[in-house]
Amino acid sequence: MKPNFCRAAVILWVATLGVGGWFFVKGVTKTGSDGRVEIILAAAERDQILAEMRSLLKAVDGLIRGLGEPNPDPRQMEATARAVGMNMAADTEPTIMAKLPLPFKQMGMSIHKDMDALADAIVRHETSQQILQRLSSMTARCTACHDMYRFKAS
């Protein structure tokens, strides 16, 4: 192999890593009309994430209702939290992941992780106040992320 060819191959390799890394951090985004970062997705991808969002809200609703009961059903609450845990995140396709900015991915993953931790906490019989604290640390992230990002179907 000629040295020039090797050099070209190395440059191409570094460039590919660089572009890949750039997308990994920045995703596919532009600034939206309201100043939030707009993540550009295919319509079906956007539908999929929004459906996931609605499941998250249903889980939060279910958990708060559970906590409000005089006799909460721990098994049902555990299942509610578990349903939106890391298992749900594992289903997200790599093509969607590639379009999401890094902080978005980190915040999203942290919610799924904390829902599993909340399910474990219910099994450990943590108090309702402790469970509420876990939940509020998550809802703070729901609102922080909604303030930062929005979706656009391409």
Place of tokens 């572009």: 19
Q: Does 111 bind ligand HEC (CB under 6 A)?
A: yes
Structure tokens given for 140: 């703070």
Total of residues contacting ligand HEC (CB under 6 A): 18
Is the CB of 56 or the CB of 131 nearer to ligand HEC? 56
27: left (phi over 0), alpha (psi -120 to 50) or beta: left
Q: Does 97 bind ligand HEC (CB under 6 A)?
A: no
One of 27, 41, 45, 60 touching ligand HEC (CB under 6 A):
60
d(CA 26, CA 29): 7
d(CA 141, CA 78): 21
Which positions touch ligand HEC (CB under 6 A)? 50, 53-54, 56-57, 60, 104, 107-108, 111, 138, 141-142, 145-146, 149-151
